[in-house]
Amino acid sequence: MTYSQTLGHNNNNNNDNKYQICEEIGRGRFGTVTRVYAPATGDFYACKTIEKSSLTDDLDRACIDNEPKLMALLSFHPNIVQIHDLVDTDSTLSIYMELVDPSVSIYDRLVSSGTFSESQTASFAKQILQGLAHCHRYGVVHRDIKPENILVDLRNDTVKICDFGSGVWLGEGETTEGVVGTPYYVAPEVLMGYSYGEKVDLWSVGVVLYTMLAGSPPFYGETAEEIFEAVLRGNLRFPPKVFRGVSSMAKDFLRKMICKDASRRFSAEQALLSSATLLLFRSPRRVVVSVVLVGDSASLSVSSTSRRLCRSHRRVVSLAILDGSALLSVSPTIDTPVSRSSTTPTLSLLVSSTPPRLSSHPRRLRLSLLFSSMTLRVFLSRRSSPARD
């Protein structure tokens, strides 16, 4: 089945009965994006209409032709904007897509708010990587991941990747060439003219996440040429004034994505299994909990201004990690004892995938970690009385 058959590709110039135009909601280099209504179903869609007269070269025409093909190739995923229909006429090409409303792009949020918190960045990172991993499983490389191409559904903070116009399909083990992308976010191997694969998207995601935390990209210049030179140098820095409140694990995660050596750079799947699940949450009990998941194991660190709480580390009996609908119970073991000399006491646990032996000891402390859109909620309680500062 071709992509036109999959989408109900329509070459009929008279499409007024099928969709009714409501209002313009965006404008791009090749055309406009409007909200449209489908009377037959009662649904609203976003319609990107491209004026074919504005396509001045073969590359532009290839991008416009590729976008609906790549979007149709991908099965449904909650973190990717879905294509619904395609209408091709002599003068225009109209792509009818899922309407994300109300929505803003990551870029809009950066402009209005400046930066994102680490916990919010972690939540969005997981969703971006899940969408990207889905693309890569189907051989689709986006090649233009940037804040403008990542939408946030304001109803539920769901992230959706959009605009596949610069994308390409690669078979297993295949690579491509060509300078495609946006200066701040393009990977160095693209600029150097090397063959490259899906990991160019991971560099771009890393730069996006850095920008969300810092408010500005890691490689800067006054002109495109200066930006490219900075990207090629790849001198990744974390200015203390900017990253004072960002955990070392988050910075290490960014280093593994913004890595000049593509062979050592994370893939989307590796990032999801590693520090993409890095979380930081500050509870009312003045507790900071950091978690890193690697496969079926996790390391957990609890630091608190409450020394009494940290002295309770030997009373920890079990962790319940809830990820979506799957409940994984794991048994903690003490990895590093609490340091008595440290200003901020720290409790470190190495968590294995061995099922725990749940105990009903009345003085033991139980921690439940709930992963909900990558927001970590920590419940510290005792069966008898709670730990007090």
Instruction: Assess whether 144 carries a catalytic annotation.
Output: yes
Closest CA to 147 of 186, 185, 180: 185
Backbone dihedral angles phi then psi of residue 183, each to the nearest 5 degrees: -45, -50
Nearest to 379 by CA among 270, 262, 283, 251: 283
Cα–Cα dist 210/216, whole Å: 8
Q: Cβ-count burial of 177 within 10 angstroms (0-12 exposed, 13-18 middle, 19+ buried)?
A: exposed
| Cα 55 to Cα 64: distance, rounded to the nearest angstrom | 9
According to DSSP, the residues that pair with 56 across neighbouring strands are none
- Give how far Cα 209 sits from Cα of 6, 30, 260, 284, 314, Å: 34, 28, 16, 27, 36
251 assigned ligand-binding residue: no
Burial of 260 per CB tally in 10 Å (0-12, 13-18, 19+): middle
Residue (of 47, 45, 48) closest to 30 by Cα position: 48
Sheet holding 20-27, edge to edge: 20-27, 31-38, 43-51, 92-98, 83-88
Spatial separation of the C-alpha atoms in residues 3 and 125, rounded to whole Å: 30
| Active-site residue identified among 144, 153, 252, 296 | 144
Q: Residue positions in the annotated binding site for ATP?
A: 48
Residue positions annotated with a catalytic role: 144
